A and B are shown apart, each in its own frame.
Chain A
């Protein structure tokens, strides 16, 4: 309860004053602080952005600032994301938008050649950041540990692209939407909350513990992560532990090699309540419920519905998805066609 009330207080329907202050834009210059704690100062909104993080790129499309993008991660051209971005951007559809790196490796020469006035990459890519900054290219380093970090990233991207109002609106909308979900389970006693085991695509025993976005996702849905007592972002858990915890619902990250049927028919999992009651679910795709973007709210809604079907009887997930994507990405008919 204490945790829940803290969550509710900390995540009101509107952004905190401190968040806005931290991202304050002065009349002449734009000043933001990235996830390394480094202050970034631009004279005007960035016009040529190289964004090598797919989740941040999604944020820029939500802000409607994609015209400022001049380089993207090669991972965007993978089938599972390409089909969505191709529906939003002709340059991606025709594969003319350069990709000077992927999530890990960066071709510095290509990045520099694109003459960017802002590069967005992971904060831990220190070597690449150093080389780019030595060449006078401003770098915004990202590191997502919680959903609060996503809000912070969105507000910063809003400032950097001159779409601050839109960013504030998106963050406020997300908080409001989550508030509505949380309010339905707020009064629930901790003993009545559904126990959830989360399964990453890397393996049946790969999950996330306390302090992870997954743990936060399950809490926001009003349920309890069975691995919540282990403080690790990602871990391989012992199967005997899972059997002992006896989760009532199993949530699988989108998995190309396995589906809920494999878990339901695996003899090792048969004693679990989730398997006996056939409550094993899989997220429909990486793009629609990316946990490092504001789309995580859709994942929260799905988990809430899977855990408490009666309580969320009125929540039509398909309809919800379309409404949400319209709110996040704006009017993009081709994208909505892909969502069906």
Chain B
């Protein structure tokens, strides 16, 4: 497919998907007709139904589906945007937002909040996610420079430490709280609400806008430290300018949705397969594609059963095989 056409289609996908997702839910709650009637107003609603009058349709669309749809899109966009930025930064296709300890730091923060109620869950998850990435960065910093290898290694160590701390909390807590902690680490969107969206959106959007503004620098960083210096930029500063917003966006998302795996790894690859490695185009495209991907997966999880299945399970079950299929039939799109 022509990259230009692919790009156009990628930007177009979210529009019908966002609207269409409002119609998706458990089969017997509200009908498509009722959703349409509520969305389009009295002109297109030939027969007002009792359900419409009861306010149920409004609650379901406005208070339940809309915040969930927006949150799913935003979280997907944040994870995949963050993944794209970090893959460029580390010049490594195996990197995702969780590599530097973000997921284990957030999971520990969430577990601590759930077990001890010492601070609100989302604040704790966000703070520890940021702290873990910060720790990885500063542990890797020697003589005012941070090499990619040392950063990845310190990320692994910090992840390990936070995973152990999480295990301690799990070990000490009671079965009720343990269950909540385990559910949280599986990733979920079923508790989406306007309040959750309000707490997550500022951090996520700030991170993403920042990344979009600095996307051209990712191309420079992707060439390596020497080349970055050659064009008159300090690679250490540039790395931080990408690392901070990428972590901010991903942390704000993880804090409300838990650990949703594979999106930050798979979607950046899919985007590159479709439109190539130029980050100035890949980053915005990966936001659109990441948001759409998670939204689609969440739609599937919403209709799959009458009970909620953690979305993290679906992203892996749907994203994994699809990614392998793509890998087997096309080039990875990493080569410039």
Contact = CB atoms under 8 A, between A and B. Distances in A.
B261 to A, nearest CB: 19
Contacts of B194: 267
B87 to A, nearest CB: 33
Contacts of A270: 55, 59, 63
Interface string B286-308: 00000000000000001000111
A236 B193 contact: no
A205 B25 contact: no
Interface string A220-259: 0000000000101011111111011000000000001100
Interface stretch (B142-150, B155-163, B172-180, B221-229): B172-180
B335 interface: no
Contacts of B281: none
A230 B306 contact: yes
A271 B55 contact: yes
Interface residues of A, number: 31
A32 B55 CA distance: 57
B29 A237 contact: no
Interface in A78-109: 78, 102-105
B113 to A, nearest CB: 9
Contacts of A234: 179
B302 A243 contact: no
Interface in A93-142: 102-105
B56 A243 contact: yes
A203 B189 CA distance: 13
Given A237-B306, A268-B59, A205 B191 contact: yes
A244 B26 CA distance: 10
Interface string B2-36: 00000000000000000000000110111000000
A202 B193 contact: no
Contacts of B188: 236
Contacts of A324: none
A104 B175 contact: yes
B63 A268 contact: yes
A205 B183 contact: no
A235 B193 CA distance: 20
Contacts of A177: none
B29 A244 contact: yes
A241 B190 CA distance: 12
B175 A103 contact: yes
Interface in A181-228: 200-205
Contact of B308 (A102, A103, A104, A237): A237
B198 to A, nearest CB: 12
Given A203-B191, A205-B191, A236 B55 contact: no
A75 interface: yes
B171 interface: yes
Nearest to B188: A236
A1 B55 CA distance: 33
Contacts of B180: 202-203
A75 B174 contact: yes
Nearest to A286: B176
Nearest to B310: A236
Given A270-B59, A271-B55, A236 B308 contact: yes
A311 B203 CA distance: 53
B60 interface: yes
A268 B64 CA distance: 7
Nearest to A237: B307
Nearest to A271: B59
The 8 closest A-B pairs by CB, nearest first: A236-B308, A240-B29, A235-B307, A202-B180, A271-B59, A268-B63, A244-B29, A240-B25
17 contacts: A102-B174, A103-B175, A105-B171, A200-B176, A202-B176, A202-B179, A204-B191, A237-B307, A238-B308, A240-B26, A240-B30, A243-B29, A243-B56, A243-B59, A267-B59, A267-B63, A267-B193
Interface of B: 25-26, 28-30, 54-56, 59-60, 63-65, 117, 171, 174-177, 179-180, 183, 188, 190-191, 193-194, 302, 306-308
